[in-house]
Amino acid sequence: MRTLIVAALLLGCASPASADPAQDLLRDLSNAPGPSGFEEPVRAIMLPQMKSLADDVRFDGLGSVIARQGSSGPRIMLDAHMDELGGMLRRVTPDGFVSMQMLGGWLDQALAGQRWIIIGSKGPVHAVSSIRDIHLATTEERSALIKRDQVFLDTGARSAAEVAALGIAPGDPIVPDSAFQDMNGTGNYAGKAWDDRVGCAVLLMAMQRLKSAGHPNQIYFVATVQEEVGLRGARAATALVKPDIGIAIEGGVTGDAGGAHLEESQVKLGAGPGVFLYDSSAMPNRKLTALLRKVAAAQNLPLQVDLVQGYGDDSAEMQTVAGGAPTINIVVPARYTHVHTGIINRRDFDQTVDLVVALLRRLDAGTVSELRDFTR
């Protein structure tokens, strides 16, 4: 049954191929439903391509995909997570409304009055989250935050029995209903789950480039699960890979949307790939950061830097598991993360692929030994 549901989901999110394979990949990954713990539709996109480009493929016990290219040299782990922010069906009320258990760090103000998809035993079920009607709201309520425990999903059902007839029940995953869109020819792409489907796309494009161009390493391309609920897949996968160097690829944070404060973020959409010098979960290796700067300069690529509070990424696990490794978190800037619809820039994406490929080709045995030398 689960296989049939996943096939139906993929059929529903697939679109006709265009003359731009990278855009097609970004669209399909963004559209695929895959909240934490229900990454199957995303893995169904990633796995066939990773198998075709790798020397071998295996899995950790949680479902992360570990694909290796190369059989000698340093062990480099390139990581992107497949899961997205979402939820689970929590309870059904007698009058047919549904409550949600959120998966990941949602803002309460991003939940009300939105469209959602519940993945049930009979396939996708569309829903709308409730919101206090303005004609009924008091003056105080009109400007107040609607808390998540006040938000319910409306599937159109009128009773608990009608909800059950739709094929949904407690524990079923929920994702935002937000389709990919090329925004008016601007080079900006709107869609859900750029955190971290854009990283998944960078991983696949880097695999393709390195398969044909070669590299001096054993590169472990790892598509992890359950990042949004505690970096769980990265922890398990790192224990298997035992990398000498760890590189996370993530959706970043921009400060160029209306009302942003300079101290929050100085990264801009369309100004190139970024690297985090600090986040709440990890601090990058300084030698590796310096090398990344040199590689970007040599390739004439822009590189934005940022320090972000309230952010976690898989490099935190690569940094500490199995004895630890020098790590770095390279990001594709994204506006409006952890909400229904975010925006990325295509040139930022392409330049991030260029930067990641160039960095991986520099990480030969001598360079990795220098990065891991803490005596000087």
Q: What pLDDT does residue 11 have?
A: 44
The mean pLDDT value for 123-146 works out to: 79
The angle formed by the CA atoms of residues 185, 187 and 193, to the nearest 5 degrees, is 115
Q: List Cβ neighbours of 228 (8 Å cut-off, separation of 6 or more).
A: 35, 36, 81, 83, 84, 85, 86, 103, 104, 105
Q: Residue 328 — φ and ψ, nearest 5°?
A: -155, 155
56-63 — which CB contacts under 8 Å span 24+ positions? 58/240, 60/233, 60/236, 60/237, 60/239, 60/240, 61/236, 62/225, 62/226, 62/232, 62/233, 62/236, 63/39, 63/225, 63/233
Question: What distance in Å separates the CA atoms of residue 339 and residue 174, rounded to the nearest whole number?
Answer: 13
Q: List Cβ neighbours of 40 (8 Å cut-off, separation of 6 or more).
A: 2, 6, 34
Number of alpha carbons in the 13 Å side-chain half-sphere of residue 239: 10
pLDDT digits (tens, 9 = 90+) for 21-55: 999 999 999 999 999 999 999 999 999 999 999 99
Q: What pLDDT does residue 258 have?
A: 67
Give me the chain's average pLDDT, please.
91
Q: What pLDDT does residue 339 have?
A: 94
End-to-end CA distance of the chain: 57
* Candidates 84, 227, 228, 317; catalytic one: 227
Tokens 């990283």 label which residue?
A: 199
Distance of CA 2 to the CA centre of its chain: 23
Q: What pLDDT does residue 112 have?
A: 87
Q: What pLDDT does residue 368 have?
A: 97
Task: Identify the structural domains of the chain with CATH numbers, from first to last.
Answer: 2-84+180-371 (3.40.630.10), 87-176 (2.40.30.40)
Instruction: State yes or no: is 39 an active-site residue.
Output: no
Pick from 131, 140, 127: which is nearest to 109 by CA?
A: 131
pLDDT digits (tens, 9 = 90+) for 150-204: 889 999 999 999 999 999 999 999 999 999 999 999 999 999 999 999 999 999 9
Pick from 340, 33, 20: which is nearest to 185 by CA?
A: 20
Task: Please give the model's pTM, rounded to 2 decimal places.
Answer: 0.93
Question: What distance in Å separates the CA atoms of residue 93 and residue 116, rounded to the nearest whole number?
Answer: 18
Q: What percent of the chain has pLDDT over 90?
A: 79
